[in-house]
Amino acid sequence: MEQQEAKALGLLAEYETPQALMAAAEKVRDGGYKRWDTHTPFPVHGIDDAMGIQPTILPWIVLGAGATGTLTALLLQWYTNGVDYPFLISGKPLFSWVPAFPVTFELTVLFAGITTLLGMLALNRLPRLHNPLFDVKRFARATQDRFFLALDATDPLFEDSSARALLEGSGATAVEDVPDVPTNENIPSWMWQVAIVLVFATFVPLGLIAASYNSTSTTPPFHIVGDMDWQESYRYGEEVPFFDNGQAMRGALPGTVAVGELEEDDAFYRGMDDMGNWLAVAPVEVSKSVLERGRERYNIYCLPCHGESGNGKGIVHERALALDTSGWLIPRDLTMDSIVTQPDGQIYDTITNGFNYDAETGTGNMAPYAAQIRPEDRWAIVLYVRALQRAANASIEDVPADKRSAL
Ligand code: HEC
């Protein structure tokens, strides 16, 4: 088969000095050619003018991109904060450019920056993996000591004979065809393989996100250093197989006392004297604040049953009667004689241990309040109960003499 003569892609002229190249460039420029370029081992000053290169339009493109970024950021923040999901914070305006500024700045720079890079590449038609000039042997000296001018055959003015004459008459030491050597335009298969692997690799993060999105597990998917986050811990009252009795809460060991819990003072902690008799008078100082405290605690813990005045008709009692609960034990009227005459220590003991209460079965007339009320508060309640009794059994003698006439 007859070998078809390959059509040249253009002409390459070689010069020995930058001056010669400059002069040639001016001629080609004045000849009206548009698709051509010069190649030199080092930057040649004035070559831009000699070639008639116009300033790049890249700055305008970047300006437009930056403005787009500004508008995008402002619109985004105005729409999300001011329109789509208005969220009033401290009466501030829903949209204002001042707080929107950081995002606006960032988007402006981001759009402009990316456009600068991509615009530069696009305007320069990069990336270009192969240039036909590489197939001209002498062109290798473009990086050493020769100056070249390449005229592209796609230029509208290009006509082989006239272009060749122009270059030959421009002081070139040689003018040569740029051959159209067929190149392998296929991307090497290993690149395909790597690309496919990379594409699939990009699905991994997406897959992980989707998996954790649909996950009902409460443990975090990634937790490289667990530290103390995963230690076994139990809540109050939880069951734990480790201990014989299955209770997570550990009681005091028999024969031991926790720091600060040595309750040696029988009078204060048990309301008894050395002989084991009830204290007649509470072992605490009586003051207005103690009585206030006593009233507060009484109203919290005792009032529901024993009533605000201590008469035994609290709201729980009223409710029990309304429900007609048979077997409901009426709370004691705390102002009755038999309790007025009780020693302080005995009332303290009733609060601490309950009344007729069986700790084994958890049943009895009144449950103990030792777990809820601290000893000093129990004494404060005792004092307040005394005040209630005093109020319930008051006589005219309790009123100061000068105020009696007012009654
Ligand atoms: C859940 C209801 C209830 C609560 C709350 C309650 N009690 Fe009682 N209380 C009773 C009942 C019931 C009795 C026994 C009545 C009986 O046995 O006749 C009683 C008896 C008493 C007695 C008489 C004991 C005796 O020796 O006769 C005193 C004193 C007393 N309570 C004080 C208090 C104090 C102080 C509080 C608050 C810390 C309190 N109670 C909280 C139901 C209650």
Q: Which of 359, 362, 366, 303 is nearest to 329 (CA)?
A: 366
CA 53 to chain centre: 53
Cβ–ligand 1 distance for 317 under 6 Å, the answer no
Residue 344 near residue 280 (C-beta atoms within 8 A): yes
Counting ligand 1 atoms within 8 A of each CB, the residue from 295, 297, 305 with the most, and so the one to mutate, is 305
Residue 149 near residue 167 (C-beta atoms within 8 A): yes
Can you tell me which residue has the tokens 């500004």?
A: 70
The residue nearest atom 17 of ligand 1, judged by CA position, is 365
Name every residue whose Cβ is closer than 8 Å to that of residue 72 and which is 6 or more positions away in sequence: 107, 111
Torsional sign, CA 252, 255, 258, 264: positive
Cβ–ligand 1 distance for 73 under 6 Å, the answer no
Residue 66 near residue 105 (C-beta atoms within 8 A): no
Per-residue burial over 63-99, b = 16 or more CB atoms within 10 Å of its CB, e = otherwise? eebbeebbebbbeebbeebeeeeeeeeeeeeebeeee
Distances 82 to 103, 107, 191 between C-alpha atoms, Å: 15, 19, 48
Centre of ligand 1 to C-alpha 251, Å, is: 27
Cβ–ligand 1 distance for 351 under 6 Å, the answer yes
Q: Is 384 exposed, middle or buried (0-12, 13-18, 19+ CB in 10 A)?
A: buried
Centre of ligand 1 to C-alpha 303, Å, is: 10
Report d(CA 22, CA 83) in Å as an integer. 62
Centre of ligand 1 to C-alpha 347, Å, is: 9
Report d(CA 34, CA 235) in Å as an integer. 83
Tokens of 215: 């996950």
Name every residue whose Cβ is closer than 8 Å to that of residue 242 and which is 6 or more positions away in sequence: none
Cβ–ligand 1 distance for 175 under 6 Å, the answer no
pLDDT tens, position by position, 230-282: 777 788 788 888 888 888 888 778 888 888 888 888 899 999 998 989 999 99
Tokens of 245: 């009795």
Report d(CA 221, CA 69) in Å as an integer. 36
Cβ–ligand 1 distance for 312 under 6 Å, the answer no
Q: Please identify every stretch of the chain with a pLDDT value under 70, giving residue numbers as ranges.
A: 1-6, 220-222, 325
Counting ligand 1 atoms within 8 A of each CB, the residue from 278, 306, 335 with the most, and so the one to mutate, is 306
